[in-house]
Amino acid sequence: MERKKMTAPRLVAKKARHEPITMLTAYDYTGARLVDVAGIDAILVGDSLGMVMMGLDNTLPVTMEEMLHHCRAVARGAKYAHLVGDMPFMSYQAEVAEAVRNAGRFLREGGMESVKLEGGQEMVAAIRAIVAAGIPVMGHLGLTPQSISKFGGMRAQGKTAVAARRLVDDALALEAAGCYAIVLEAVPAPVAAAVSQRIAIPTIGIGAGAGCDGQVLVYHDVLGLFDRVHPPFVKEYARLSETIVEAFSAYREDVVARRFPAEEHTYPMSAEELAAFQQALEG
């Protein structure tokens, strides 16, 4: 079957058809190509790039310029997946007009097709304005990493009846504000399932159980590339860090032992030209 370009409305339609949605993060051209070829529905250029690409401790220092740099590379690599740009800390929280302008930059300068931002009812005004500007918005509730200072660390959310009820209300508010999907991060599975059943737009879970309408994982976690943190909800589908270190070590050993480069890794030169060259050196 011919593969169609995935769009925000097509993601919403997938929920109506009860078809699970797949999303992965990607941060560069090569990674985006691989994710796209695998048939993944959506690529999130997440601000998690602060940790996995830049070596930061959290997402807070990531800037608009850094996000746009990675978005442009991803946009060049992906043909079919829907492209979501993650709005970095302080690019949308302070003022609605600034939120709209920055969201617009993700589409105009970053090649993205929608934006994601974190927060519940307090973000409704910004979401409405961004959507009114023609930019689809994906919400993000639960463990919202830009609020780690408020949470006191990377802690699961929605674990009390009161907090779970607030999460449902936040999801309803985001849907009413015009979001086309909501990421639910690190919330108990029954709470995520209850949210998913109460809204018509898809929920995309990460550490939120099987009751969500889709799932998202971080590129480096799926591939086993990042060993600094191991969230319990991650399933590693490969352990590429070991494969890569093995390959680099084999290369180093080959160079040291003069096994690389071999004849087949060099450019040929005709015998005549070589003879003429040697003569020129001698003369």
Catalytic residues: 185
Q: Find residue 274's DSSP bridge partners.
A: none
Residue nearest to ligand KIV (CB): 46
Interacting positions 39-68 with ligand KIV (CB under 6 A)? 44, 46-48
**114: contact with ligand KIV by CB under 6 A:** no
- C-alpha 56/C-alpha 58 separation (Å) is 6
**215: contact with ligand KIV by CB under 6 A:** no
Q: Find residue 54's DSSP bridge partners.
A: none
Interacting positions 158-187 with ligand KIV (CB under 6 A)? 183, 185
Q: Which is nearer to ligand KIV, 2 or 224 (CB)?
A: 224
Q: Which is nearer to ligand KIV, 173 or 218 (CB)?
A: 218
Q: Which is nearer to ligand KIV, 60 or 96 (CB)?
A: 60
- C-alpha 61/C-alpha 50 separation (Å) is 8
Interacting positions 193-212 with ligand KIV (CB under 6 A)? 206
Q: Which is nearer to ligand KIV, 199 or 204 (CB)?
A: 204
Of positions 6, 123, 218, 222, contacts ligand KIV by CB under 6 A: 218
Please tell me the count of residues contacting ligand KIV according to CB under 6 A: 11
Cα three-residue angle 32-35-37, rounded to 5 degrees: 105
Cβ 130 to ligand KIV, closest distance in Å?
17
Cα dihedral 187, 142, 135, 5, rounded to 10, equals -20
Query: Which of 66, 2, 64, 73 has its CA nearest to residue 39?
Result: 2
**Cα distance between the two ends of the chain:** 67
Cβ 81 to ligand KIV, closest distance in Å?
15
- C-alpha 204/C-alpha 216 separation (Å) is 6
Cβ 183 to ligand KIV, closest distance in Å?
5
Q: Which is nearer to ligand KIV, 111 or 142 (CB)?
A: 142
- The sign of the CA dihedral 8, 134, 31, 93 is negative
3-state secondary structure of 12: helix
Cβ 265 to ligand KIV, closest distance in Å?
38
- C-alpha 107/C-alpha 91 separation (Å) is 15
Q: Which is nearer to ligand KIV, 116 or 274 (CB)?
A: 116
Residue 257, CA atoms < 13 Å, CB-side half-sphere: 7
- The sign of the CA dihedral 215, 121, 47, 185 is negative
- C-alpha 106/C-alpha 212 separation (Å) is 27
**216: contact with ligand KIV by CB under 6 A:** yes
Cβ 151 to ligand KIV, closest distance in Å?
15
Residues that bind ligand KIV (CB under 6 A): 25, 44, 46-48, 86, 183, 185, 206, 216, 218
